[in-house]
Amino acid sequence: MSVKVNHIAIVVEDIDKALSVYRDAIGLPVEKVVEEPAEAVKVAYLPTESGEVELIQPITEDSGVAKFLAKRGEGLHHICLEVDSIEAATRRMAAQGMQVLGEVRVNQRGDRYIFIHPKSAHGVLIELYEAARSQD
């Protein structure tokens, strides 16, 4: 099974302020900024040669990301690992005793994802991600 780092997500209080660092000072291009209502966040996508940096800002006060921000402050939220089959990866991790959070979800681009509890991964929230298949 193929696994690669897809993106690193950083939780921020204000995307516009964060872009002054990641876009203006560091020089990362901004592909787009969109809201993902299913997660109650606004996301700025900043591609790199080998993946992406995602800045995530909560858009409600009661979302999981808002609670994370209130408890831990700004910083690393999760590491996303892209896999060929989210079902196979999830089964393998569950067989090793890792705790999966919720069900597989789908974002606006049609990508499928699920999270692994930080207690199962030495304190790091891991997102498993399967890219949408193109309709060629």
Domains and CATH numbers, the chain: 3-130 (3.10.180.10)
Residues 6+ apart with CB under 8 A from 90: 100, 104, 114, 128
| Tens of each residue's pLDDT in the chain, 136 residues | 788 999 999 999 999 999 999 999 999 999 999 999 989 999 999 999 999 999 999 999 999 999 999 999 999 999 999 999 999 999 999 899 999 999 999 988 889 999 999 999 999 999 999 998 764 4
Query: CA 29 to CA 37: how far, in whole Å?
Result: 24
CA distances for 121 relative to 66, 103, 110, 125, 135, angstroms = 22, 18, 26, 7, 34
Q: Record the pTM.
A: 0.87
Sign of the torsion angle spanned by Cα atoms 11, 48, 46, 21: positive
